[in-house]
Chains A and B, each alone.
Chain A
Amino acid sequence: MNRIAVTGLGAISALGASIEDNWQAVAAGRGGIARCVMGISPHGPGGLELPMARVADGYEAALDAALGRPVAGGLDPFARFVLAPALEALEQSGLRGHPVLEERTAIVFGHGLGGLATLEAGYERLFGLKSPRMHPSTVPKVMVSAGVSAAAMAFEIRGPVFAVSSACASSAHAIAQGAAMIAMGQVDVAMVGGSEAVSTAGSVRAWEAIRAMSPVTCRPFSADRDGMVLGEGGAVLMLEAWDHAQARGATILGELVGWGMSSDAFHITQPSPEGQARAMRQAARQAGALERDDILVSAHGTGTPLNDAAETRSLVEVFGARARAMPVIATKSAHGHLIGGSAALQAALGLRALAQGLAPPIQNFTTRDPECDLDLVVGAARPITSRLLLQNAFAFGGLNVALMFAAA
């Protein structure tokens, strides 16, 4: 089985339009959550004020300039939110224009929902204006594969290209899928990640209806946590066969050493510690890390009462008492929950944390909860000696992924 190097990272979120901006923000304990009025539309019920972590405008022009032609305007925000970090990750890897892109490179991106802004604009015409005519670009902008197709065309990548979807675990499944193709020798390079663009009138109302959203902010593992906060953006990792990366003298940023996937087969919204533990155990076993304790845990950590308590129980189930000595970070407290894009962004930030030997603090934390008795990194960033990163991603419908990375 081929070893898998990480040779490029890219990110966009409320924290900034590059991985460096995102890392600097979380390391400094700076957040991107702000109160927004969402869902103003001519035929809607009026705006809804809620905390969100939204991407600032301006990145579209930079994307068009870097690609040398107007591309951003033809894409739904969800596809732009993965194309921008794809460009950044590809350039960091040094593979832009490389012959490996012609056949031996895959793209797999994960998205939970696809082109909501485009779809809602079309429905506003249809149901609001009672216009029978939808914009002709509606279907190609809404489809969940619009992001991978945009990246394939922008960078002339001609290997296996497809999107995957598993709600909040989508980009984690994308990373696992890309890794499997490299491990098997099917491709040498896989551009993997995901994104989401949930700040639309219909989407925020639908999320609010689940009653899982905090009216205040995201405070993972804190006793007074009261829900998640939606975020926009995406992230991309360049995975590469270890020998391929070494042969071309690439800078290796980390190694993907294990990935586990499981399904709870239990409930459409409630988590199950048993299913989560199975995914983590698989990843740790593959990485040879079941007995290790130098692990930085980048928790799924949504900030809902149920998730964080269940995640604590599943970590203890897998690692026993050692789980309570592992530093735990939860960067959704800074960039919100990017749904399909979360796992890739959190993994990218976790890799930076490993490389820097610095764990960013869980933001907005106030009070310890006996049900979340882990070594939470709170207050300020903390120096760490961890050599491994465990990235958890748990989705509605009980779809779990755990990824294990090693420091370079």
Chain B
Amino acid sequence: MVQTVPTDDQLFDVIAKEALVDRALLNRDAALEDLGIASLDVISVLFEVEEQFGIVVEASDLEDCKTLGQLIDKLKAQAPVSA
């Protein structure tokens, strides 16, 4: 069984593009609120993450996330597993 997990950088690239945030500002400690990432931005990120990496996460599963590190760890945990 192999789990294909995207890298932090791959996920930051998606977040920068979909949430329209400067890529240089993205790191694991950055707070979502400080970056101005709103709920529609999160939904757009989830859409692309499913498109690109097959990761299916509901926005409601991310409500506790305060930092980018917490967000991408939740995404990585749902990376698909193949035989």
Q: Which residues in A have some Cβ–Cβ distance to B below 8 Å?
A: 69-71, 73-74, 133, 135-137, 140
Residue B37, interface by CB 8 Å: no
Which applies to chain A's interface (DSSP): helix, strand, loop or mixed? Answer: loop
Using CB atoms, name the residue of chain B closest to A70: B20
Residues 6-35 of B contacting A (Cβ, < 8 Å) = 16-17, 20-22
Q: Which of B31-63 contact A (CB under 8 A)?
A: 40, 43-44, 47, 50
Residues of A within 8 A of B47 (CB): 133, 135-136
Q: Do A73 and B43 touch (CB < 8 A)?
A: no
Instruction: State whether A69 touches B44 (Cβ < 8 A).
Output: no
Cβ of B43: which chain A residues have Cβ within 8 Å of it?
136
| CB proximity of A208 to chain B, nearest CB, Å | 32
| A to B CB contacts below 8 Å, 7 in the list | A73-B20, A74-B20, A133-B47, A135-B44, A136-B43, A137-B40, A140-B40
Residues of A within 8 A of B44 (CB): 135-137
**A73 in contact with B17 given A133-B47, A136-B47 (CB within 8 Å):** yes
Residues in B with CB closer than 8 Å to A73 are 17, 20
Residue contact A71 to B20, C-beta cutoff 8 Å: yes
Residues of B within 8 A of A (CB): 16-17, 20-22, 40, 43-44, 47, 50
Interchain CB contact under 8 A, B40 and A136 = yes
Cα–Cα, bound, A140→B17 (Å): 16
A133 — which chain B residues lie within 8 A by C-beta? 47, 50
Chain A: which residue is nearest B25 at the CB level? A69
A137-B50 Cα distance, complex, nearest whole Å: 15
Given contacts A70-B22, A135-B47, A136-B40, 16 further A-B contacts (CB under 8 A): A69-B22, A70-B16, A70-B20, A70-B21, A71-B20, A73-B17, A74-B20, A133-B47, A133-B50, A135-B44, A136-B43, A136-B44, A136-B47, A137-B40, A137-B44, A140-B40
Residues of B within 8 A of A71 (CB): 20
Interface centre among B20, B21, B43 (most CB of A within 10 A): B20
**Contact flag A69-B20 (CB < 8 Å), given A135-B47, A136-B47:** yes
Nearest CB in chain B to that of A131: its residue: B51
Q: Nearest-CB distance from A140 to chain B (Å)?
A: 8
CA distance A140 to B39 in the complex (A): 14
A150 to B16, CA, bound (A): 19
Q: A393 to nearest B CB, angstroms?
A: 34
For the complex formed, measure the closest distance between the CB of A181 and the CB atoms of chain B, giving whole angstroms: 31
**Chain B residues with Cβ under 8 A from A74's Cβ?**
20
Q: Which chain A residue shows the least CB distance to B48?
A: A135
Task: Pick the 10 closest A-B CB pairs, nearest first.
Answer: A136-B43, A74-B20, A70-B20, A136-B44, A137-B44, A136-B47, A135-B47, A73-B20, A136-B40, A73-B17
Q: Which residues of A contact B22 (CB under 8 A)?
A: 69-70
Cα distance A140–B40 in the bound complex, in angstroms: 10
Chain A residues near B17 (CB, 8 Å)?
73
CB-nearest residue of chain A relative to B21?
A70
Query: Which residue, A133, A135, A136, has most C-beta atoms of chain B within 10 A?
Result: A136
In the bound complex, residues from chain B placing their C-beta under 8 Å from that of A69 are 20, 22
Bound-complex Cα distance A69 to B19 (A): 12
B59 to chain A, nearest CB (A): 10
Cβ distance B48 to chain A, nearest Cβ, rounded Å? 8
- B-side contacts of A70, CB under 8 Å: 16, 20-22
Contacts of B16 in A (CB 8 A): 70
User: CB-nearest residue of chain B relative to A125?
Assistant: B51
Closest CB in chain A relative to B56 CB, distance in Å: 11
Nearest Cβ on chain A to B60's Cβ, whole angstroms: 15
- B residues near A135, Cβ cutoff 8 Å: 44, 47
Residues of A within 8 A of B50 (CB): 133
Complex: how many Å from CA A402 to CA B35?
46
Q: Which residue of B lies closest to A135 (CB)?
A: B47
Contacts of B40 in A (CB 8 A): 136-137, 140
- Name the distance in Å between B25's Cβ and chain A's nearest Cβ: 10
Closest-CB distance, A387 to chain B (whole angstroms) = 46
Q: In the complex the two chains form, what is the Cα distance from A140 to B41 in whole Å? A: 12
Whole-angstrom CA separation of A140 from B16 in the bound complex? 18
Q: How far is the CA of A137 from the CA of B42 in the complex (A)?
A: 11
Bound-state CA distance A135–B16 (Å) is 16
A73 to B22, CA, bound (A): 12
Q: Which residues of B contact A136 (CB under 8 A)?
A: 40, 43-44, 47
What's the Cα separation between A136 and B40 when bound, in Å? 7
Q: How far is the CA of A100 from the CA of B20 in the complex (A)?
A: 28
